[in-house]
Amino acid sequence: MAIKLGIIGAAGRMGRRIGVLACQDERFTVACAIERPDHPGQGVDFGELIGLGKLDLSISSTWSTRLEVLIDFTTPEATIKFLSSAQKDSVPMVIGTTGLSASQLDRLKIAAKDIPVLHAANMSLGVNLLFHLVGQVAAALGDDYDIEITETHHRFKKDAPSGTALELARRICAATGRDFNNCLTHGREGREADRQPGTIGMHARRQGDVVGEHTIAFSTLGETVELSHKAHSRDIFARGALEAAAWLVGKNPGLYNMLHVLGMQNTPPT
Ligand code: NAD
């Protein structure tokens, strides 16, 4: 039996690609396509919206059918609202939305006591491999290498720096003993802007339709080592979200990430 999937943010850039790929994937039936109540697509057939022809599935503002898993790519406020409903209805939830505050992230942990929740700032295999490697490289190179993270995204992206760039910094901090809350330098400007030892430089560029690029540069006197990832299309995130959704069904309650899905995380869910 195909997994009954609900897509939240169904008319968004990510929601539409997840819809197309889910309809082409035998593992899933798209059972619900959810958008904000004032979205002009309310009541429109989801299949027609995503260019697949009529699916007899109208875009709605909530779900009224039994779902087996939800995928959410919306805004932090919407994510938290739908997380409460998912918790009430015991539906596992994959969350791709970025820019969640510390208290919103705590809310994920609370919900994960009752339902399986997977949150990943980046659902691509390549970026998750970077998450795995970046701490090892930082620790191996040591304190004399200055670390600068640069990320580039399309002009419509709301949050900066990207959730992915912040997660890369978090992993470097965990591997090198830096204090994440006190070691980031966001851009530089002015006369007293010289580099402080142990800091991680963070630079966000917003331009055109760039899907997502991240580079971590480690430089000392004489050489630079760079780890870099470039997303060519949103489909890598949409495919990752669908893999995560298929994986999450039937799991115990807990807060998971993509490294769990990819078998690269040894630690249990939180
Ligand atoms: P988008 O603006 O194109 O789509 C978001 C959709 O959510 C919109 O259609 C909007 O109407 C809908 N929405 C907003 N509030 C809602 C509500 N209350 N109820 C239902 N729907 C609501 O944005 P996008 O490019 O699709 O990105 C969405 C989020 O996903 C962002 O936070 C982005 O940073 C993140 N993102 C994550 C990954 C990843 O791999 N984790 C990849 C790409 C984007």
Over residues 124-141, the pLDDT tens digits come to 989 999 998 999 999 999
Instruction: Return the amino acid letter for 250.
Output: G
Ligand 1 atom closest to Cα of 77? 18
Is 214 an active-site residue?
no
Instruction: Give the Å distance between the CA of 96 and the centre of ligand 1.
Output: 8
Among 50, 75, 157, 233, residue to substitute to test ligand 1 (most atoms within 8 Å of Cβ): 75
Query: Does the pLDDT of residue 204 top 70, yes or no?
Result: yes
The one catalytic residue in 153, 214, 229, 260 is 153
Q: 61 pLDDT band (50/70/90 cuts)?
A: very high
pLDDT for 255 equals 97
Query: Does the pLDDT of residue 43 top 70, yes or no?
Result: yes
Instruction: Give the Å distance between the CA of 210 and the centre of ligand 1.
Output: 16
Average pLDDT over residues 207-221: 97
Q: 264 pLDDT band (50/70/90 cuts)?
A: confident
pLDDT for 263 equals 86
pLDDT for 262 equals 87
Query: Does the pLDDT of residue 269 top 80, yes or no?
Result: no
Instruction: Give the Å distance between the CA of 12 and the centre of ligand 1.
Output: 6
**The two structure tokens encoding residue 143:** 């304190």
Average pLDDT over the chain reads: 96
Query: Does the pLDDT of residue 268 top 70, yes or no?
Result: no
Is 157 an active-site residue?
yes
pLDDT for 267 equals 66
pLDDT tens, position by position, 135-181: 999 999 999 999 999 999 999 999 999 999 999 999 999 999 999 99
pLDDT for 240 equals 96
Average pLDDT over residues 47-63: 97
The one catalytic residue in 81, 132, 154, 157 is 157
Average pLDDT over residues 51-63: 97
Whether the Cβ atoms of residue 50 and residue 26 lie closer than 8 Å to each other: no
Instruction: Return the amino acid letter for 103.
Output: S
Whether the Cβ atoms of residue 251 and residue 268 lie closer than 8 Å to each other: no
Query: Does the pLDDT of residue 265 top 80, yes or no?
Result: no
- Ligand 1 site residues (CB inside 6 A) read 8-9, 11-15, 34-36, 39, 73-75, 78, 96-99, 120-123, 237
Q: 121 pLDDT band (50/70/90 cuts)?
A: confident
Query: Does the pLDDT of residue 69 top 80, yes or no?
Result: yes
CA angle 87, 117, 132 (to 5 degrees): 170
The model carries a pTM of: 0.89
